[in-house]
C-alpha cells in the first residue's frame, strides 16, 4: 500500500517549488527542475488550478502562482484531490458486508491508526515543507 501516489508526490513537489518562487513559474521550468513528465505535470497543474490552489496566467510569459496560502494547504488536502479519501480501514472482504463490522476488534484498531495518520497529515502544510 502506498500512502502517497505518484500524482500526489508530483503535485507536492510542484507546489513546494512554486511556493519558493515569488514570480510566475512556467510549466517548462517545473518539468525541467523537477524531472516530471510533461503530460503528468500539465494535468496536475490544471487540477490544482481547478481546485483553487493555483492560479494560471496564459500567454508567452504565463505560468502558475499559488492562489492559496501555503500555510493553509495541507498534504491531506492534496491527497484528497489526487487520491480521494484516505481510507486505511477498508474491510478486506470488499463488497461482502462482514457480519462483525460493528464489533470487529481489528477494524477498531485500524480506525484509531487512521485517525492518527489523518491528524498528523493535516498538520503538514506546503509552507512547512519549504
Query: How many domains is the chain built from?
Result: 1
Residue at 108 is within a domain: yes
Torsion sign, CA atoms 70, 75, 76, 77: positive
Query: What CATH number corresponds to the domain at position 92?
Result: 1.10.10.10
Residue at 75 is within a domain: yes
- Report pLDDT for 85: 79
Residue at 70 is within a domain: yes
> What's the CA gap between 51 and 107, in Å, rounded?
32
Domain housing 63 = 6-129
- Report pLDDT for 1: 59
Tens-binned pLDDT, residue by residue, of the chain (130 aa): 578 889 999 999 999 999 998 788 999 999 999 999 998 899 999 999 999 999 998 888 888 999 988 999 999 999 999 988 777 666 655 555 666 666 777 777 888 888 898 899 999 999 999 8
Residue at 1 is within a domain: no
pTM comes to 0.82
Annotate 92-129 with DSSP letters as a single string.
TTTTSPPTTTTT-HHHHHHHHHHHHHHHHHHH-BHHHH
Amino acid at each position: 500500500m502506498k500512502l502517497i501516489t505518484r500524482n500526489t508526490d508530483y503535485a507536492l513537489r510542484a507546489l513546494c517549488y512554486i511556493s519558493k518562487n515569488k514570480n510566475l513559474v512556467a510549466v517548462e521550468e517545473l518539468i525541467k527542475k523537477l524531472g516530471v513528465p510533461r503530460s503528468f505535470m500539465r494535468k496536475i497543474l490544471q487540477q490544482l488550478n481547478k481546485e483553487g490552489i493555483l492560479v494560471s496566467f496564459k500567454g508567452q510569459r504565463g505560468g502558475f502562482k499559488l492562489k492559496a496560502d501555503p500555510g493553509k494547504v495541507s498534504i491531506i488536502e492534496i491527497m484528497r484531490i489526487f487520491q480521494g479519501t484516505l481510507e486505511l480501514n477498508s474491510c478486506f472482504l470488499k463488497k461482502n458486508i462482514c457480519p462483525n463490522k460493528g464489533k470487529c476488534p481489528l477494524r477498531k484498531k485500524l480506525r484509531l491508526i487512521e485517525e492518527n495518520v489523518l491528524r498528523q497529515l493535516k498538520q503538514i502544510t506546503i509552507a512547512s515543507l519549504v
